[in-house]
Amino acid sequence: MKNIIIALLSTFALATPGLADPKVKGWKTYDSMGCMLLRECQDGVKEIKTLEDLQEYYPDIDFSIVSNELGEMLSALQSIGVEVFLADDKYFPPLHRGVYHTVGNKFFLNKSYMDKPHQLMSVVRHEGWHVAQDCMAGSVNNNMIAVIFNEDKIPFYWRSIAEDTYPKEALPWEQEAMWAGHTEGMTRDALKICARRPMWEVYPPTPLTKKYLIDEGYMK
């Protein structure tokens, strides 16, 4: 269990910083990301509620191969109360294609990378899994986030890649999200459950999460 004050960040490649804006110390920095997360910077940041909204930004891209799963995830996110935004890459530090802000329950996608359907899905699934972890911690209306599976359930392949990608303190959450990001339907199914009922009624909580849920009155 961990109190995430700022956000969970996905790890993907990006370009070099640009010029500074009056509101931020520089583009493609954590400062510019923070400005976006807090909604103080809104230029080039547009809400996406449906696949049709996304298609407007990429009229020449065929998203039909991912339309069903993506549409179901966007619908579930709306039901949960999580807003999804497509944002200019100037807000994202190097190695970031997406971010879920647990405090504001807002989900941001880097516009420069969402024109490839399979890449889009890996990011939405990954960040969507962090939403599911947020649900597992009792409610998306607190600042807590919880792992969903015991570590031994996560395939060794994804644990190994996560160990090479993320700092040790982030591994419990990120190794799950990396697995989910590359597994069709895994995030969609978890988000649908979150939208309808407590996560722990379907996904048995780990011992630490169970203790937290009982102590905080979410679970008897």
* Of 24 and 125, the one with more pLDDT: 125
- Percent of the chain at pLDDT exceeding 90: 86
Residue 95 pLDDT grade (very low, low, confident, very high; cuts 50, 70, 90) = confident
> What total of structural domains would you count in the chain?
1
- Report d(CA 193, CA 76) in Å as an integer: 9
Instruction: Assess if residue 220 is contained within a domain.
Output: no
- Report d(CA 168, CA 151) in Å as an integer: 14
Residue 9 pLDDT grade (very low, low, confident, very high; cuts 50, 70, 90) = very low
Cα–Cα nearest to 84, from 105, 112, 55, 115? 105
The neighbour count for residue 113, using CB atoms within 10 Å, is: 19
Cα–Cα nearest to 49, from 73, 17, 25? 73
| pTM for the structure as a whole | 0.88
The pLDDT assigned to 211 comes to 96
pLDDT at 20 over 90: no
pLDDT at 65 over 80: yes
The mean pLDDT value for 131-157 works out to 94
The pLDDT assigned to 4 comes to 36
pLDDT at 108 over 80: yes
Residue 104 burial (10 A CB sphere; 0-12, 13-18, 19+): middle
pLDDT per residue as tens digits for the range 163-177: 999 999 999 999 999
pLDDT at 156 over 80: yes
β-strand pairing of 45-47 with 8-9: unpaired
Residue 11 pLDDT grade (very low, low, confident, very high; cuts 50, 70, 90) = very low
Query: Is residue 90 within 8 Å of 25, Cβ to Cβ?
Result: no
Query: Is residue 169 within 8 Å of 115, Cβ to Cβ?
Result: no
| Mean pLDDT computed over every residue of the chain | 89
Residue 17 pLDDT grade (very low, low, confident, very high; cuts 50, 70, 90) = very low
The mean pLDDT value for 73-91 works out to 97
Residue 24 pLDDT grade (very low, low, confident, very high; cuts 50, 70, 90) = confident
Say how many residues make up the chain. Answer: 220
Domain of 26? Answer: 2-215
